[in-house]
């Protein structure tokens, strides 16, 4: 790796580091523990991994490496655009924001050495739209992590999460996989039992 | 997945979630941005991934999936034992703490469904001691992320990191791989140039 | 005011209260003092007021009440859309975001009693585009406040603001009014002298 | 505006900016969201404005500009004296503190250009004592904002606000205006309904 | 005191200052108010003092000065080793950690002028093991303060403290002194009554 | 101790606990690490203790127990009145505030069991006025701790402390004791050398 490539890679890492440590999730709702995008993405990856383990146990073919990469990268565009509430992202606006995030993503990785650019670019998929098993596992983990964050806020006493939790449950219920169903049910038991 | 397994998995995820969001790194040094273990581990995985990309470009055989898993898991024992300064972890004490962390790790994952237990247990290696290329990449990423955190603190004005940065540079210099050398040199340029 | 109107007004106030206390400005840049939108808007109004005082002293006709109202309201749409970095808001995207914020604003005030709805709706102008003296004073105050925030961060040791400060100065220099010029010059003196 | 005046104005703005961002309200009570004086004053102004709108609708003559200015300025002396609990401010002590705050205020604005000094000085009234409709609207908004802050804390789980909320309700009930009564009743409904 | 001694003393004070302000207690549990070791130790000393007053009233001989010194010093080793959860400190591990903390303590005070070294060294006792009345009062105050912290968290809405509170109560019940029994009972009343 | 006394004592401890954990020092100056009154008082006591050790070494008679008690109690009135900037406390106002704090202190301890009331009341002295060696040591430690806090802020990058540090140095220089002189000189060396 020549000096210039090292410089580009380093710049990408430090810019991403600064932004993802700073950007907070649920930015318009009163929260107690302020969660940044990096810690969210970490837990998404951890949950997704464990789901892959069980899928493999059951003989389902899944590319765990792909799932982990998707998890690490799925919120990267937020490092430039900031966290925008999901409630805003619908209909017309959703399409616009998707385009916005895509172009932001291209801007972010544009100066990376070519091999890294190709890898991140190939991995990055508009996950809301994707349809492979890998994307589904990541998408479920993304929502389950958000739901767990809301549960943790609730356990800290925060009553502002109730409406969001209801939405989360609806989204969770949209997944038909047996394993996801079990986890969703356990979540619902936990949310109710904490009340 | 039966209800009991879902319950065990959920318990592991939520316990880990609470702990890794709460435990702060550099716990005995005055810091400005308080970094928790989850966000640290996220950036370790991201850096490690990009290094793997280049290794593959260069035709070096490396198991990226293994590297990502190692990155996600390497600080898990801290979710029970808390973050202990590296300066304390040496000589006799280091051996004791290694044993302590190992038994803590067993305790944490002990109630997971068997397949997940086996996976985490097999992945978990005392990375300070391991010797494979995968462990080396993770170890380097772990140190580089810490070094970058220190640089970010420095850029926020914090002058308490200087001695730690010196140590980081010594550790970074211990890696002989050409790519790691380039990144280390870029780091050193950056640290100097910020002064 | 009947019960229903009181309920609608109260709902608007509490929703705005929660959101504007929570949303942080400069959400993708490492900061030390986390500034929310409410405190920003307060200082914009205070600065704008003092500028109006001097304008009146100089015999320039200006509607101070209008300026104060514009200041209080100019960032209200952020209570739904979150704070989006100005660097993202340009060209095509800026037009999209302007539309987005307009519709967000309509949504926010849509349930207010009619007289209040009319007042807020009439006051609200896309200030980036407006051209009256009142809008200009508010726009200048908005930028000066942001510039002062950056200066305060700098005085706390934060070196991440330098590039943003440069942009602020360019924007400040875009105002040709003699009073704004004086304040802008004083700002530049202060920024340099702190270095 | 000559250089010297720009300097004085700038100094006032930056001193006030630093202080009001830093001083926290409810400084002796355990709170979750730390509210500074600037954000409090912002919401006071916003609430007061909406009340003025309705008063005008009802044909009541009120100087909205005056109300907004009073709201922006009413806690300015705290930028030097710090936030002192209302419970301490009674009887003899209240008179002393009022004098203290008055002299503090003179000190703060003493170096401002004359026209601004005159404006702030004329606007500033010991609001606890004032009797005009404008002062009454501001005073009510000040208390309602405090009450809403307490409600938000309660919704975050904080049970330390109950006694303060009781006091707030007593103060709110002291206002006889029909509009204020409606808002007060809605507040009481909301506080009860959250329990 | 010669320059060198002043330097050593100053270094000890500033190192301890930085560390004890930074290290947080309950580092693996989600908390709302982050308590550092310095504030914990302050309240331990205050509680211990009041207990000594009553013991003296009852004619029990107790060395209050000793109790205060023990309180100030009992968590000093944490300034190097960080706060480790009590749940980890048991059996074999407890012995290891005790040794670790002892050697850490020697390291911390090793450069102090001789008279101060001797004083701190003589005061420092492994309080978990000690058996004098002074140590018992300090030990009880240490636990009662922790229990009160948990109660305060509970009053802020945090439901994560319940299991810890149960443990605290068991430890409190282990003290047979009549005064400690009364305080323990009052604590239990308070914890129940808050529910 | 009967139930009623236990209740009174417990109430005092918990009220003080809540307030001193919450009240921040330097409440009108931009700071990075927010220091509460409890942690300040802890370090005052620690510093004062070490000074007493040396005084005893030199054969100077000093009542260490008294010094520690003074340190623990000297800022207790702030738990009701909040932290008021020292700059405000001068001339006429200082006398008023002293009276205010005295009456606040009486209010705080008024419900304690008699023996504890007598002890705290006897210990409490307006330390600004007192003249014994014990009071002087506490007073010096109070200032030195504040000065060290400012130094720590400076090392975190905060440039707002410079004027305060200058004042601290003037106050420190007012102490003529040889040991205090040495520590003051070391402080000055350290402040200069950090620049």
Q: What is the mean pLDDT of each run of 10 residues along chain F (195 residues)?
A: 92 95 93 97 98 96 96 84 64 72 84 95 71 93 97 97 93 93 94 71
D183–C47 C-beta distance less than 8 A? no
A194–E30 C-beta distance less than 8 A? no
- Segment D125-142 shows an average pLDDT of 82
Task: For residue C43, give the nearest of D38, D50, D186 by CB distance.
Answer: D38
Q: In chain D, whose CA is at the least distance from the CA of C22?
A: D33
* Per-residue pLDDT, C1: 81
Q: Which chains touch D (3 or more CB pairs under 8 A)?
A: A, C, E, F
* Per-residue pLDDT, F83: 63
Residues from chain E contacting residue A151 (CB–CB below 8 Å)? none
**C88 shares contact with chain A (CB less than 8 Å):** yes
B155–C32 C-beta distance less than 8 A? no
pLDDT at C8 over 70: yes
Residues from chain C contacting residue D36 (CB–CB below 8 Å)? 39
* Per-residue pLDDT, E107: 84
- E152-165: pLDDT as tens digits: 999 999 999 999 99
* Per-residue pLDDT, C35: 97
Residues from chain A contacting residue B16 (CB–CB below 8 Å)? 43, 46
In the numeric block, the tokens 């490690």 are attached to B48
D79–F28 C-beta distance less than 8 A? yes
Taking the C-alpha atoms of residue B187 and residue C2, their distance in angstroms, rounded to an integer, is 65
Residues 6+ apart with CB under 8 A from D17: C43, C145, C148, C149, C152
Band of residue A195 on the pLDDT scale cut at 50, 70, 90: low
% pLDDT > 90, chain F = 72
* Per-residue pLDDT, D126: 55
Q: What is the mean pLDDT of each run of 10 residues along chain B (195 residues)?
A: 92 95 92 97 98 96 96 84 64 72 84 95 71 93 97 97 93 92 94 71
**Max intra-chain CA distance, chain E:** 58
- F102-152: pLDDT as tens digits: 888 888 899 999 999 999 998 986 555 578 999 999 999 999 999 999 999
The answer, yes or no, to whether D and F have at least 3 beta-carbon pairs within 8 Å is yes
Instruction: Confirm if A74 and B71 have CB atoms less than 8 A apart.
Output: no
% pLDDT > 70, chain D = 88
Three-class SS of chain E: CCHHHHHHHHHHHHHHHHHHHHCECCCCCCCCCCCEHHHHHHHHHHHHHHHHHHHHHCCCCCCHHHHHHHHHHCCCCHHHHCCCCCCCCCHHHHHHHHHHHHHHHHHHHCCCCHHHHHHHHHHCCCCCCCCCHHHHHHHHHHHHHHHHHHHHHHHCCCHHHHHHHHHHHHHHHCCCCHHHHHHHHHHHHHHHHHC
Q: Which chains touch A (3 or more CB pairs under 8 A)?
A: B, C, D, E
Task: For residue D1, give the nearest of C21, C49, C179 by CB distance.
Answer: C179
Tell me how close the Cα of A20 comes to any Cα of chain E, in angstroms: 22
Nearest to F90 by CA among D52, D80, D117, E41: D80
HSE toward the beta carbon, residue C137, CA cutoff 13 A: 28
Three-class SS of chain A: CCHHHHHHHHHHHHHHHHHHHHCECCCCCCCCCCCEHHHHHHHHHHHHHHHHHHHHHCCCCCCHHHHHHHHHHCCCCHHHHCCCCCCCCCHHHHHHHHHHHHHHHHHHHCCCCHHHHHHHHHHCCCCCCCCCHHHHHHHHHHHHHHHHHHHHHHHCCCHHHHHHHHHHHHHHHCCCCHHHHHHHHHHHHHHHHHC
User: Which of B29, B154, B157 is the best residue to mutate to test the F interface, defined by the most F CB atoms within 10 Å of its own CB?
Assistant: B157
Q: In chain C, whose CA is at the least distance from the CA of D53?
A: C116
Taking the C-alpha atoms of residue F34 and residue F17, their distance in angstroms, rounded to an integer, is 17
% pLDDT > 70, chain C = 88
Please give the structure tokens belonging to residue A130: 């994707």
- Segment C170-175 shows an average pLDDT of 94
Residues from chain D contacting residue E152 (CB–CB below 8 Å)? 30
C36–D21 C-beta distance less than 8 A? no
B17–A43 C-beta distance less than 8 A? yes
The three-class DSSP label of residue C26 is coil
* Per-residue pLDDT, A131: 82
Instruction: Confirm if E88 and B80 have CB atoms less than 8 A apart.
Output: yes
Interface of D with A in 13-32 (CB under 8 A): 32
ipTM of model: 0.93
Nearest to F152 by CA among E82, C161, E21: E21
Interface of B with C in 90-109 (CB under 8 A): none
Tell me how close the Cα of F92 comes to any Cα of chain D, in angstroms: 10
- DSSP code of D2? -
In terms of residues, how long is chain B? 195
Tell me how close the Cα of D91 comes to any Cα of chain A, in angstroms: 37
B64–A17 C-beta distance less than 8 A? no
User: Which of A22, A95, A163 is the best residue to mutate to test the C interface, defined by the most C CB atoms within 10 Å of its own CB?
Assistant: A22
**C186 shares contact with chain D (CB less than 8 Å):** yes
Please give the structure tokens belonging to residue C121: 């709706």
Task: For residue F39, give the nearest of E13, E21, E65 by CB distance.
Answer: E21
pLDDT at A128 over 60: no
**B159 shares contact with chain F (CB less than 8 Å):** yes
Classify residue B188 by burial, with Cβ atoms within 10 Å: 0-12, 13-18, 19+.
middle
Instruction: Confirm if C69 and C123 have CB atoms less than 8 A apart.
Output: yes
The three-class DSSP label of residue F36 is strand
- E95-147: pLDDT as tens digits: 777 777 788 888 889 999 999 999 999 898 655 557 899 999 999 999 999 99
pTM of the model: 0.94
Please give the structure tokens belonging to residue E170: 């068991």
Tell me how close the Cα of F110 comes to any Cα of chain E, in angstroms: 15
Please give the structure tokens belonging to residue F58: 């030199």
Instruction: Confirm if B133 and B172 have CB atoms less than 8 A apart.
Output: no
Tell me how close the Cα of F143 comes to any Cα of chain D, in angstroms: 20
- A154-180: pLDDT as tens digits: 999 999 999 999 999 999 999 989 999
**Mean of pLDDT over chain F:** 89
- Segment D153-182 shows an average pLDDT of 94
Residues from chain B contacting residue F158 (CB–CB below 8 Å)? 157
% pLDDT > 90, chain E = 72
Tell me how close the Cα of C106 comes to any Cα of chain D, in angstroms: 17
* Per-residue pLDDT, D76: 87
Instruction: Confirm if A49 and A67 have CB atoms less than 8 A apart.
Output: yes
- C84-120: pLDDT as tens digits: 666 666 666 677 777 777 888 888 899 999 999 999 9
Phi and psi torsions of C61, nearest 5°: -80, 120
- E30-54: pLDDT as tens digits: 999 999 999 999 999 999 999 999 9
**A116 shares contact with chain B (CB less than 8 Å):** yes
The answer, yes or no, to whether F and A have at least 3 beta-carbon pairs within 8 Å is no
Q: Which chains touch F (3 or more CB pairs under 8 A)?
A: B, C, D, E
Please give the structure tokens belonging to residue B157: 């004005």
Nearest to E156 by CA among E119, E194, E129: E194
F155–B32 C-beta distance less than 8 A? no
The three-class DSSP label of residue C36 is strand
- Segment D96-101 shows an average pLDDT of 76
**E152 shares contact with chain D (CB less than 8 Å):** yes
Taking the C-alpha atoms of residue F25 and residue F15, their distance in angstroms, rounded to an integer, is 18
* Per-residue pLDDT, F7: 94
Instruction: Confirm if D38 and D84 have CB atoms less than 8 A apart.
Output: no
* Per-residue pLDDT, E23: 92
Q: In chain F, whose CA is at the least distance from the CA of B29?
A: F156
Interface of B with E in 55-84 (CB under 8 A): 79-84
Residues from chain B contacting residue E31 (CB–CB below 8 Å)? 22
pLDDT at C173 over 80: yes
Rg of chain D, C-alpha, whole Å: 18
Angle E187-E190-E195 from CA coordinates, rounded to 5°: 135
Band of residue A126 on the pLDDT scale cut at 50, 70, 90: low
- A8-45: pLDDT as tens digits: 999 999 999 999 999 999 988 999 999 999 999 999 99
Q: Which chains touch B (3 or more CB pairs under 8 A)?
A: A, C, E, F
User: Which of E156, E161, E195 is the best residue to mutate to test the D interface, defined by the most D CB atoms within 10 Å of its own CB?
Assistant: E156
Task: For residue A152, give the nearest of E30, E156, E157 by CB distance.
Answer: E30
Nearest to E74 by CA among E133, E25, E128, E150: E128
Taking the C-alpha atoms of residue E64 and residue E138, their distance in angstroms, rounded to an integer, is 10
């Amino acid at each position: 790796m020549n000096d210039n490539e090292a410089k580009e890679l380093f710049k990408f890492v430090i810019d991403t580091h600064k932004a993802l440590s700073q950007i907070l999730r649920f930015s318009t709702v009163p929260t107690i523990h302020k969660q940044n995008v990096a810690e969210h993405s970490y837990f998404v990856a951890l949950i997704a991994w464990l789901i892959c383990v069980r899928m493999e146990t059951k003989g389902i073919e899944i590319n765990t490496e792909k799932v982990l990469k998707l998890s690490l990268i799925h919120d990267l565009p937020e490092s430039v655009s900031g966290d925008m509430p999901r409630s805003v992202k619908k209909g017309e606006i959703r399409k616009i924001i998707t385009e916005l995030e895509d172009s932001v993503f291209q801007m972010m990785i544009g100066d990376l050495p070519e091999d890294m650019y190709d890898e991140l670019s190939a991995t990055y998929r508009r996950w809301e739209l994707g349809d492979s098993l890998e994307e589904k596992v990541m998408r479920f983990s993304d929502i389950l992590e958000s739901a767990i964050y809301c549960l943790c806020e609730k356990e800290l006493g925060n009553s502002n999460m109730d409406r969001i939790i209801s939405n989360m449950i609806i989204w969770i219920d949209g997944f038909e996989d047996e394993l996801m169903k079990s986890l969703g049910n356990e979540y619902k038991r936990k949310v109710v039992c904490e009340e």
